[in-house]
Every structure is written in structure tokens, then in C-alpha cells.
Structure 1
Amino acid sequence: MKLNQVLSHTNQVERSKFVNCIDKLCQDLKGNPDLAKQLKKIDGQLKAASGNEITQLFTLIQPLFKQHLKEQLAIGGPQASLLVNILVRDGNCIATIPWIENLYAKEYKEINELSLGLIEDIRQNESSDFERLNRLEIYLECMTTAFNNDLKANRTAKISDDERSILNVLAERLSLSREEIYALEHSVDPIPELGLESALEYLRENGIILINRRRSEVMIADEVIEVLHDVLGKELHDKYVLRILRSFSDADLSNILKNHGYKIRGIERQEKITTIAHSGLSIRNILMTDLHSEDATQNQRKDRIKQLIEDMDLEIPRIGTRLQDRIDVLIEHLRASEEEEFNILSVSGYKELLETLSPPPLSVEDRIRADFEVENKETLDPERLKALSITPLDILYLYSNDEIKALRNDMSLPRRGNPRSQIIDSFASANDKLIENYHLLACRDLQGLQSAGIEIKEADIGVKFEEATRSILEQLEMTVDEDLRKDINTAKDKADIIISLENDDIIIGEAKSFKNGEFSKYSSTSRQVKAYVKRCEANGHRVAQVLIVAPAFSDDFIDAADMDTEINISLLEASGLQKILAAYKQRRNPNFSPKLLTKGGLLKADLISKSI
């Protein structure tokens, strides 16, 4: 979840520690002209700043925030470090405190068992060769020395930021996994098994997490996770590492395991992937060394990375000539692809993909919960998955290549080309077809929709019209905030669409499909939207406008909306919204602002289209 959204889901008290942290870092960077300009906009009053303004400040002070995190993790102790390692995993950026406690207990047990096993193996090792156990012993001795250095100066034993950076380089050069590093550190500086509340409070005090007390929910913004990945030396999200591993052959996986002393005989493919992914091995080292046989030439290694890029169906125009170059472009491409992946399917397309994968034996929900550690009581709809940074392509990579090919064949898609891309394209095409026939959805023209090749039940037309409206607004790059809509909606009052603007302002949207003629039910519609406005204002948001989309409006409806003094209402015909989207797509650099929909009265789609 983006920082702006995290801030919108917490009150002033809950976000106060994060704001204080940003305020302190801003004071340390006062000489920056861009920062001074941004602070001037808010008169230096961060506590009164909007979520968007705080996000802009965070971007400017990010280098200082990174240094702040390094220092705080160095002095926060092993419990805080382990907790951060859990929170930055894909799927854990939003989680209830009881669920985090459950994940922590599981992680602690595994590290404790591994720690005991490694120490025993090191003690019994009699070899003097530079093999895995000797490398582990070297790191353990260095870790012990770094931890005990403070005792010589009569200070509390701990590993400083500088010592940590040296140990990180040593671990990388010794090809140790993150799992092994945690286990060895646990033997030197034991991780507390209990007392997680104090560790969570420590992270909150230092602006790393925010806690929604009403929901007992911990949130960590995507932007903060990226900085933490940098601090921890993680070049890629775990989900991208899994994609790479699932593109490897069994022989490739065995090479990686063998290079790190793991068993390979009698181990199933899925277990190999899980072991490598959970160990926290450097993906760069895997691609550079571990993947290849010892006698592989440089050209063979380069060709293998080229083949991997082709197998993953990545559109990278220039992959470079050196092995290092090819690994760099692969990692950078995956790092930059997340936003694009969210946009390949609309919310409705994403929802249809999940429904297609739901019947057994595919069991998409179980796989999502297992791979992304999502709590059982969590609803797995597209909006929640997006908040957890889980894209449609992430979902398809939960399945083996054979399963995906079987699904493609069941969907009667062509058998040539990348099957995951074909499946995504099929749902994108279905969504495009709905938008192309948006006017028929608005008029509830069942026969027209079926003639256009859209199989739909009449009872589902209203829901599809709402989903298509959201999709169009998303394509106009408006922030359709489903999490906020869920917060505001009750069993009685359910707004169709919430659009977040700057300064915590919002637009409430209503999509009204109507058969035969012009929409004329103003009294019932106004009662609905006024209830939504009250709910939003009670949650601390200012409603800048109410936008009603319908196939057409009666003159009485238009007049009543113009004369309503309680709320500001804009009316937009469905064909007009379709026209605005078409104009937007035709422009190379479209100039569209949500403010164009806040003029009030019946909006003139032709004028808006020309202004784009």
C-alpha cells in the first residue's frame, strides 16, 4: 500500500510518530531548496499537512531516512531486526498484530532450530578446507568479536551500524544465506521469544510502521519497504525471486542447493524452490555463480541468462554483452515492473481471473495464503490483493508451468507463445470489450451486449456497469480508493466509487444503469449520496464533489441537481465518459485532471475531451 493510502487509513494520533520522524529529518536537511519550497507550502506545519504533502516530503528526505533506518535497526536489537524481516516480505505489509505474532513465533522456532544445528555442525567439523562449515565458522567468529567489542570499553554489547555493514560484506563474500546469518547471530545475541509488543512500539516510534488501533492492524508503506530492502541488501522482492526460481530446471535448482550444502537427493522440485527462496540467498550470486556448473564458461553463463530472460517472456530490448550487464538489466526490469503489472488488468478483469482459478484442484486462495503468508480471515479480493502488492501476474506464477499450460488449453487459447501472457491478455481483452460496449451496459441492453459477444446475465449488468466505470476512471489515472470505500460503506449505505484527491479530498461516484429513457429518480439518489457524504465527512474527508454517471438524465433531474444547496453534484452521461477515455488514449501526453469532473451540473464531455 502506498504511503499516501497508509496515511489516509490512520488518524492524526496514529500517524504522529511517523510525522515526527519526517519533521526531524526535514530539520536536518533545511538547506535543500526543493525541501524549503515544499515546507513553505505548508508553513512548516507538518501535523496539519495532507497525506500527499507528507509523501512529497518523504521523497525529498529519502536518503536521510535510509541512514535513519540503518542506525535504528543497528540499536534496535535482534527482535526488531527479525520483525522487520517478516514485515518486508510480500503480503505482510498490512497484517493484524495477532497474525504478526503468529508469523514471528513460527520464524523464531525455525531460526532457533537452525542455530542449534549449525553450532553443533561447526563444533564437530574437523575439515580445514574452505568449505561451507568453515565459512560459517569464520563468520561466527567475526560476529562474536563485533558483538563483544563494546565490553572492552565497558559498554553494552551490541553490533554497531559500521560493524553491521562490514559483516554484511563478509557474509556476501562468504556466500552465506540470510537464514544462516540470522541463525548464527541468534547464537551470539539471542533473539527474545516473547515481548513482541515492545518491538512493534519501537518500530512505530521510529517511523517504520503505523498501527491502526481500531483494527489492531500494522501497516508499512511500499516506499518504506523499498528503503528497507536497500538497507537489508535485498535487490528484489521475494515474489520476483520465486518467479526466477520457477523458471529454472530441476538441474539448475540442484546446482544452487549443492553449492550451499543442502541435500538434493530425493527432494521434490517444489521443496527445492521453497528451500532456496526461504534461505534468503542473494539472487545476484545465484545468477552469477550458483546457477551454473563449476566448469561453465563465461559465454555459457551469459547464454543461460539470455535464455532465462526469454523463458520469463520479458521484453528487454538491450540485454548487454557482459554477464554482469545481463543480470543488471534483468533485476532492474523486474524492479520497475510492479506498477505496470497492476495496470495490465482492471479490477473487474482481476476479479474474473481469480474466479476462473477458484475451482479445485487449482485452489488459488490456498496458494495465495501459503506463498504470501496472508491471514485466513483476510478477504482476498482484487482491492485487498493490490493493497498487499500482489499483482495478477504474481497469481499466475503461483502455478507450475504444466498447470498454467493446462489452464490455457482449458480456456481454448492458442498453444503458441507464453501461456501466462496469453491468459492475462484474454482477461484484458474481455475487459476492453466491456468498455467498448459501455453504453450498452449503461442502457441495460442485454440483446445488444450478447450480439457484441458478451455473455452476461441481466441481473449482473448493474455490477458490471459499476466495475467498468471504475476501470475507465482508473485508465484516466484517477485514484479509485477501494480500501477507503470499504471503510466508509456500511450494510445500509454502499457507495459505488470513491476517488481520492489531494489534501484528503474525495469524489463520491455513483454509476446508475437505466433501461428505456432518461434517469429521473433524483429524490432517492440524493438521499443515497447525502448519506455517503455524511459517512465520509465523519471519517475526516472533505467531499469535493458527487459524480453521478447514467445513460442520460431527465430535465427535472438536472434542474434538481443544480438547485441542491446541500451537496455539489456533477452529472455525466455514460457515452460522455466513454468519449473522454477515447480522447485521453489518443493523446500522447494527455492533460486530464479530476477537477474537470467537479464543475457541477451536467458536464459537457465534448469540451472536456478537447481540453485533454
Structure 2
Amino acid sequence: MKLSNILSVVNQVEKSKFINFLDRVCSEAIVHDKELAKRVNNLDGQIKNASSGEIIQLFELVLPYFEKSVKEQLAMLGAQATLLTNIVSRDGNCIARLSWIEALYIKEWNAIDSQSKEVKSLILESLNAEEFNASKRLETYYSCVKEAYTNDEKNNRESRITDDERSILNVLANKLDITAEHRSAVEHLVDAIPQTGVQDCLNTLREVGLVFVSRKNLTVYVADEIVSMLNRMQGKELADKHLLRILRTLSDSELSNILKTHGKRIRGKERTEKVAEIIKMGLHTSKILQQDIFNPDTNINDRKERLKTLISDLDLGLEKIGTTLDERTDLIKSSLNSSADNEFNALSATGFKELFSTLKTHFPKLTSLLHKDFEIEENEELDVDKLRALSITPHDILYMLSNEDIKLVRDSMGVSKRGNPRLIILESFADATDKLIENYALLAKRDLTGLKSEGIEIAETDIGIKFEEVTKAIFEQLGLDVDEDLRRSINTSKDKADIILSLSEDDIIIGEAKTCKNGDFAKYSTTSRQVKAYVNRCESSGKRVAQVLIIAPSFSTDFVESAEMDTEINISLLEAAGLKQILDAFKSRRNPNFSAKLFTKGGLLKADLIAKNV
């Protein structure tokens, strides 16, 4: 969930800790950075009175200083804070109940404690060993971690591992080939992680701007921007879900090479077991791509060619693929790290819902798999809105399924067997949405006969929802920001807005999609009550409603006149055929000139005039 959306969800008290920490970082930074001071001064007013948009701007400006300050704070907070930040920065944990975070903590603590006992036995075995084997490497790493932790006592200071010492230990761990789980176990031996006090530690993380805690909902929120920052600080080049995509794309022999490189057993292991073990090891993606997947005698040109093929297999859509091994590795990492927005836009809201529903039909274990792999609380109901909030894209879901499972789903769906099965499945849902867009006017008029003649089978009860979702798809194709996170956060069981378009961090358009079977749409009093409730909800969340846009097949004269005379809110009306006309004009232009502000003129919009000027 993006920081802007979290700021819309939590109240002023819950924002205050983040704002106070950001203010402190900013005040310290501008003393040393005159250029930053100028840019900060351009933001109006005091930070405590700033809008969500201004807070986001300030956060982006001071991010390097924010990250440096967080590093310093975490170094002082110790092992418990490190373990908690590891948990909240994992895939699927950015929104979770307090009780679930505590449960994950206990589960992780027990695993580390058990692992530390095994590591202790290995270290004891190595004390008299002459060979520099895995046990001896662990003993060497343990000795260095212990020294880094206890050397402060010589100067009568509290024992802790500083950020500089952590950097050196990370290099040492990589050189000694110490896996992530063994690193955690060793640190637990040196500085035992407390088993209790999770809520107190979360409150401390809240003080340093890392998490938001809603006392009303007993929920912890971690912004996507913070997750990216924590991953950088932990030296994690890719999120596990993105590393999983790479591993699913590699051959069996390449997976075996990775395990052999790190002294792991491969005989008798299934492909899924190999993938799971590699992810658990916490290896650097760069090392996997440049060294581990290859036989030692593979030359540099063959390695570069393999990464070129991998870029194609992952369908990263890069304009340039680089010429060196480092360039291609960096492009793969940066493309995957920034892929979420493009992947959400690859399918319309309708397409995503239909994909999720179809996958559950053809693979009944899907929801339990998502709960398990993304560590989502079991009683948490999963739908597309929830998945979006957790930043789980359609691609993420498809890569959760093994290569064998995805082929079974593909065959069960009856789609083409040629090409990448995951991409073929995605394309089939994109095509279904395009067909509905082509027949948008029929959908608006609830013309079942017309839709059927075009090969579209749809239940009458589903038409309203489909019309709403296809309208979103059209807006997305027009390049507009359909803000599903914000819509989800402001909607209640009583008041449910259809569409929210974000113009900026603070300005939005509220959209309503209305179908009508016979004649013109004429229900102004009912519609105005609805949209006014949505406006109030948005404004109470700190958003400015620039316009309300109502889309329907056509409007009665009374409806148009009532909208024009309404003094409480600004309303624009647009006929469904007109919106389709605008989209067609947009697609036909090589360099279309379109802005959402064209929807803010008020009254019944002239679609032909807008289309002409796109």
C-alpha cells in the first residue's frame, strides 16, 4: 500500500509519529544541505499542517537522510527490532492485524531459536577441526559477530553492532557463504532476541517512522516506499516474490547448480523443493544471475546470452537489454523492482477479478497457497481489492503456481499451448476486457440481446458491476490513475463509490457508472445523495474533490438541468458512447493530448469536441 493511501486511512494521531520523525530528519538535513533547504522552503506552511501531498513530497526529498537516520536508530534498537523489520517488510505483510504480527514473530523466533541450537552444535564440532569446512566457516563468522557485539564493553559502552560493523559482517557472510537463516541464528546466539515485547517494539518502530499503527482497527500498516527502503538496508536486491519468478524460469540444472555452489544436497530433490530452499537461503540475486546458475567453466559471452534469454522469458519489456553482464543483471533487478504499477495496469479491474475467479475455479488450492506463501492471516478473506492493497499483482499470483501447476491450469482453461503459459493466461483476460470495451454502449444500455449477438455471455445481475469495471478499464487506457487503494479505504458498507481518479496526491475526481435499460437516466435525487456522501468521505480523508463525473447511456433533460443547478458539488455528465468515442480518438493519435481536466468542465460534456482535441 502506497504511503499516500496509508495517510488517507489513518487519523491525525496515528500520522503524528511519522510526521514528527520526518520533521526531525528534515530539520537536521537542511542544516547541511543548502540545496535541499531551498526545495523544502518551497513547500508551504508547517509540516504538521501539511497536506498528504506535501508530506509525500517532503518524504521523497529527504529520503536519503530518512534512510540514514533509520539505519542509525535500528542499530541502537537491537535484534528484536531487526527481526520485526524483517517480518513487516516481507511480501504480504504490509497490512496486518497486531495479533497476526505477534503470531508471525513467535513463529519466526521459534525457528531461529531451533536453528541457533543446531548452529551451536556445528560450531562446537568445528573447534578441533583442521579443515576449513562449513562448520569452521560458521565458527569464524560467530567469532566475528561476537567480537563486533562485545567490543563496546572495552570502552564501557552498551554492547551493540553498529551500522559500519554490520556492513563488514555482511561482506564476511557473503565471502564465507553463510546463508540468511544461519546469520540470524548466529546473531541470536550472540545477542538473544527477546521472545516477548512485540507491541512495545512496534511502537518504537512507529516512533522512527517505519510503521503506522491504527489503534481503532488494531492494524499495522507499512508503506510500499518503506518496504523498498528496508529491503535496501537489508541488502535484499529483490523481494522474494520477484526472485521466485526468476527461479521458476530457470532450468532444473541451473537450480541444481545454485544449490551445488553453496554445498547443498540435490539428489532426490523435486524442483519445487529446490526453489523453496534457494529462497530460504537469502542469496544475492546478482550472484545467482552472474555465477551460481552456471558451470564454473562457462565463458562470459555465454553468461550474457543466457541473461538475454532470461529477460525475454520474463517478458520484462525492456527497450535496451544492456551489453555487459552487470548491465543486464541490473536491468533485470530494476525492472522487477518497479514492475507493480505496470502489472496492475496490464489487466483492467474486470480482467483481474475474472482472472482471480477463474484461477480459483481451475486451481482450488489458490487461496490457501496465497495465505501460506504471503503469510496472510488465514481468516482474512482474499479478493482483488485486498490483493491490490497488499501489492500482489496478477503476475505475482501466477508465479505462485509451480510450472507444472500453471500448465495444468492452462490446459483446463483451454487456452493456447504455445508460448509462456502465464503470459498466455494473462493475455486471454486482457482480450476479454477489450471485447467488453468494444461493446461498451450495449453494456451501458443493458442490451443482453445485442451483447449475446457479439458473443458476450453475461448474466443480467452482473451487468452493473461489469459496466463499472469496464469504465475503469477505459480510464486506465486513457492513462488516468484509477486509485483502487483510495477507493477501498474511503468506502464503507453503506457508501461505496464506483471509481476514484487521482489527479495529484490531494486532488481527485469521483466517478459513478450508471446503466439504464429503457430511456434516459433520470434518478437525480438518489444519485446526488450518493455522490455527496462520497465527497464528504473523501474530504474527511484530506482529499480535494475537483469534480464528480457521472457516466450513463444518456440523461434526461431534468437530470442535466438539476446537475447544472446543483450548488453543493461540481458535477459533469458524460454519455457512455461519448466516453468510447474519446477512447477511440485517443488510440488513433500517435501522440494524444489528453488530460483528466477535460472532465471537469461541468454539465453535459461534449464528447465529440473532447475527442476532436485529444
Which interval holds the TM-score relative to the shorter structure? over 0.9
SS of alignment partner, residue 358 of structure 1 = helix
Gaps of 5+ in 2: none
1:9 aligns with 2:16: no
> Paired residue for 1:102?
103
Taking the aligned partners of 2:310 and 2:291, their CA distance within structure 1 comes to 15
Cα deviation, residue 393, structure 1? 0.9
Retained in 1: the 8 A contact 2:14–2:212? yes
TM-score normalised by structure 2 residue count? 0.94
Tell me what 2:90 maps to.
Answer: 89
In 1, Cα distance between equivalents of 2:541 and 2:319: 48
Is the 2:51–2:542 Cα contact (8 Å) retained in structure 1? no
CA contact under 8 A between 2:362 and 2:413: conserved in structure 1? no
**Counterparts of 2:350 and 2:278 in 1: how far apart (Å)?**
35
The residue aligned with 2:382 is 380
The Cα shift of 1:80 comes to: 0.5
Structure-2 change in CA distance of 1:579 and 1:537 (3 Å): same
SS of 2:500 mapped into structure 1: strand
Question: For residues 176-198 of structure 1, what are the alpha-carbon distances to aligned partners after superposition, in whole Å with 9 as ceiling and x for unaligned?
Answer: 22221111111001111110011
Alignment of 1:85-234 (within 5 A): 85-125=86-126, 126-234=128-236
Change (3 A) 1:315 1:525: closer
Does 2:24 correspond to 1:24? yes
TM-score w.r.t. length of structure 1? 0.94
Deviation at 1:106, TM superposition (A): 0.9
Equivalent-residue separation in structure 1 for 2:320 and 2:558 (angstroms):
60
- The aligned residue for residue 455 of structure 1 is 457
SS of the counterpart of 1:516?
coil
Deviation (angstroms), 1:379: 2.8
5 Å-filtered alignment, 1:403-422, equals 403-422=405-424
For the residues of structure 1 that align with 2:353 and 2:152, how far apart are their CA atoms?
56
Q: Distance in 1 between matches of 2:342 and 2:457?
A: 29
Q: In 2, distance between residues paired with 1:455 and 1:302?
A: 48
Report the Cα distance in structure 2 between the residues aligned to 1:232 and 1:78, rounded to whole angstroms: 13
Residue 327 to residue 546, structure 1, CA distance change in 2 (3 Å): closer
8 Å Cα contact 2:91/2:240 also seen in 1: yes
Q: Is the 8 A contact 1:9 1:212 kept in 2?
A: no
Counterpart of 1:50 in structure 2 is: 51
Work out the percentage of aligned pairs sharing the same amino acid: 54
Distance 2:312 2:484 in 1: 36
Q: Could you say if the C-alpha distance between residues 230 and 266 of structure 1 is closer, same or farther in structure 2, counting changes exceeding 3 Å?
A: same
Contact 2:272 2:402 in 1 (8 A): no
Q: In structure 2, how many angstroms separate the alpha carbons of the residues matched to 1:298 and 1:489?
A: 55
Question: Comparing 458-467 with 291-300, which one deviates more in the overlay?
Answer: 291-300
Q: Per the alignment, do residues 33 and 477 of structure 1 end up closer, same or farther by CA in structure 2, a change over 3 Å counting?
A: farther
Q: Which residue of 1 aligns with 2:391?
A: 389
Question: What secondary structure, in the 3-state scheme, does the structure 2 residue paired with 1:380 have?
Answer: coil
Aligned to 1:64: 65
Query: Is contact 2:363-2:409 (8 Å) kept?
Result: no
* Aligned counterpart, 1:343: 345
Q: CA deviation at 1:213?
A: 2.0
Question: Shift of residue 227 of structure 1?
Answer: 1.6
Pick closer, same or farther for the CA change 1:374–1:35 going to 2, 3 Å: farther
Distance 1:133 1:307 in 2: 38
Q: CA RMSD in A?
A: 2.2
Output aligned runs, 1:309-328, within 5 Å.
Answer: 309-316=311-318, 318-320=320-322, 322-328=324-330
Q: Which runs of 5+ in 1 are unaligned?
A: none
For the 8 Å contact 1:35–1:57, the answer to whether it is kept is no
**CA deviation after TM superposition for structure 1 residue 367, in Å:** 1.4
Range with bigger deviation, 425-434 or 517-526: 517-526
Aligned equivalents of 1:454, 1:571: Cα separation in 2: 27
CA contact (8 A) 2:388 2:485 kept: no
Q: Secondary structure at the match of 2:272?
A: helix
In the other structure, the counterpart of 1:567 is 569
The 1:6/1:487 distance shift into structure 2, 3 A limit, reads: closer
SS of the equivalent of 2:509 reads: strand
Following TM superposition, by how much is the alpha carbon of 1:25 offset from its aligned partner in structure 2, in angstroms? 2.3
Choose which of 528, 532, 535 in structure 2 pairs with 1:533.
535
The answer as to 2:249 corresponding to 1:247 is yes
SS in 2 for 1:211: strand
* Post-superposition offset of 1:533: 3.3
Q: Distance in 2 between matches of 1:300 and 1:245?
A: 19
- List, as ranges, runs of 4+ consecutive aligned residues in structure 1 with deviation greater than 6 Å: none
Spell out the pairing of 1:471-486 with structure 2 (5 A cutoff).
471-486=473-488
Specify the SS of the correspondent of 1:510: strand
CA offsets 1:480-531 (integer angstroms, 9 cap, x no match):
3334434443433332223344464443321111123211122222233233
Provide closer, same or farther for how the CA distance between residues 299 and 485 of structure 1 changes in structure 2, counting only shifts above 3 A. closer
